[in-house]
A and B are shown apart, each in its own frame.
Chain A
Amino acid sequence: MIATIQHYWRVTIVNIRIHLLTILEYPASIAGWALSNPIQFVVGFATIQFVVARFGTINGWGYEQLAFLYGIAVISHALSMIFFVQGWFMGYYVIEGDFDRYLLRPMSVLYQFFFNNFNIIGITDLIPGICVFTYGCVKVGFHWSILAVFELLALIIGATLIRGGIYMMLGTLSFWTKSTNEFSGFTQEFFDKTTMYPLTMYPRALQFILTFLIPIAWVSFYPAGAMLHMDGGAPALDVSFFGAMPFVTLGIGIVVMVVASLFFKVGLRGYESAGH
């Protein structure tokens, strides 16, 4: 058991090293993403701030609280891009028969799928995320404590796992559709719309779906709302019985990931390789 873990750990380190070397070969590409991704999120938040400032608040959330929410959304997006972006492109692996190689090697297919491709460029999403989040913390006068740090860590890890799990489930559909399912842009758009704004702006039926069926609301809305003691505005679903929100997010993240892994295993059984 320990030998196995050590083995996986060594392979992971080698993979990270190879990928660092690969991206360092193309400094212009890093520069390009370092320009493009901050534009997307910093300008993206600025437009929300402008419009919300004109209207005052949106369902009780001022632009200060929205910066906090938006920051969490972008940070978890960035981490999910670093670790789980493959879920977005799983269709290509299915169509082009890339799983053949993974199946032949004596390591877990799921592990190889995720950890053979570290998307270190995702850091260019992380930096604007941290900037907007810091701005939000300053603006709302966030009270820092040991507990708050633990809450944030639990929340960020949980949120990343929820996103990763959902990407993986969407990608796994390719095993059946035999299509590239290239909706990476739409997936991001969907997550942006549901994690960067107060959930209460959606109809209750949709809030219910996003809370219990596709648990995106736990990525940012509930935990951020709890940490900022948001109440008032339009009524949200009453989920207070779940207790300490950020830790609930972590729990849900783990559950989503486990379910996604099982779903992936089922899908892989139907894998037919390329050229069928």
Chain B
Amino acid sequence: MLAYRFDVFASIVFQCIVMFATSFFWKALYSNSDTVMGVGVQEMLTYTIISALMSIFLTTKVEDRVIESVRQGSVAMDMMKPINLFGIYFAEDLGYLTSLLFQNAIPIIVIGSLFITIPRPASWYHFLAFLGSFLMSFFINWFLSAIFAMWAFSILNMNPLVQAKRHIIRLLSGSIVPIWFFPSWLAKILNCLPFVYIYQLPLDLYIGKGTPASMLPRLAIQFAWLMILAAAFAILQKRVLRKVMVQGG
């Protein structure tokens, strides 16, 4: 009992620490300028809180789950069940997210609103656009994770690769530092990769950075990435499962 409770509180406390640290970082940077790149400190603080909130919903367990069950061989048991293997993992992730909603998301938003700033969206339209875009982000993120997880069927030690992927998403998706602060050549490259469509685009929509006209093409690219990753997932899934069955036979 004590053990589990301790883990839950520790994770909330530490997530808050990260959120507060990032907000102090922005406050210090903005201490002698009002707006930089068209964004003020208030928007940046909102950005920080919403990003922390999004990171909770973008937690995926599918990689660790596959790595563990391949290593322990329990993947065979999962495959014997008369439902889609990755369907099981997706359902598990959804269940886990539901628990995180109460355990972490609500405390984070309450603490963030009380002690940092109330994270108001630019308008109701922006908020709705954010929700739509975030739904796509969620699936882009999950498909990326699931595709990574499939490598675990053939690569023995996946942990470093999973870590590398997490670092890339953390640093190059705009989750902490928005990519508009990056040099423009790098921002251009990143705008072609799927990572910015996990954090940056929904966050831009939320704080109202950029005109609606400039957002539509970006939403289109986000949708394109979603389709590409979904297709890749569907194709790879068939191949991977066939391969496992051969091994099992």
Binding site for B on A (CB under 8 A): 26, 28-29, 31-33, 35-37, 39-40, 43-44, 47-48, 50-52, 54-56, 58-59, 177-183, 186, 189-190, 193-194, 197-198, 200-203, 234
Contacts and interface: CB of A to CB of B under 8 A. Distances in A.
Interface in B1-48: 2-4, 6-7, 10-11, 14-15, 17-18, 21-22, 24-25, 27-33, 36-37
Contacts of A197: 21, 25
Q: Interface of chain B, helix or strand or loop or mixed?
A: helix
Contacts of A198: 28
B182 A50 contact: yes
Contact of A179 (B2, B21, B27): B2
Interface stretch (B91-99, B128-136, B153-161): B153-161
Interface stretch (B65-73, B169-177, B222-230): B169-177
B188 interface: no
Contacts of A201: 24-25, 27-28
Give the one of B22, B30, B183 with max A CB within 10 A: B183
Contacts of B17: 186, 189-190, 193
Nearest to A26: B157
Contacts of B163: 33, 36-37, 40
Interface of B: 2-4, 6-7, 10-11, 14-15, 17-18, 21-22, 24-25, 27-33, 36-37, 155-157, 159-161, 163-164, 167-168, 171-172, 176-177, 181-183, 186
Given A55-B36, A189-B18, A32 B28 contact: no
Contacts of B155: 28
A35 B4 CA distance: 34
Given A58-B28, A183-B14, A32 B157 contact: yes
Contact of B6 (A35, A40, A177): A177
A99 to B, nearest CB: 17
B14 A39 contact: no
A160 B11 CA distance: 25
A275 to B, nearest CB: 15
30 contacts: A26-B157, A29-B156, A29-B159, A32-B159, A32-B160, A33-B163, A35-B161, A36-B167, A40-B171, A43-B167, A43-B172, A44-B167, A47-B176, A47-B177, A50-B181, A51-B177, A52-B29, A54-B36, A55-B36, A59-B28, A177-B2, A179-B6, A179-B7, A181-B7, A186-B10, A186-B15, A186-B17, A190-B17, A193-B22, A234-B28
B161 A36 contact: yes
Nearest to B159: A32
A178 B2 contact: yes
Nearest to A173: B6
Contacts of A32: 157, 159-161, 164
Contacts of B10: 181, 183, 186
A48 to B, nearest CB: 8
A181 B8 CA distance: 10
Contact of A183 (B11, B21, B27, B32): B11
Contacts of B161: 32, 35-36
B181 A54 contact: yes
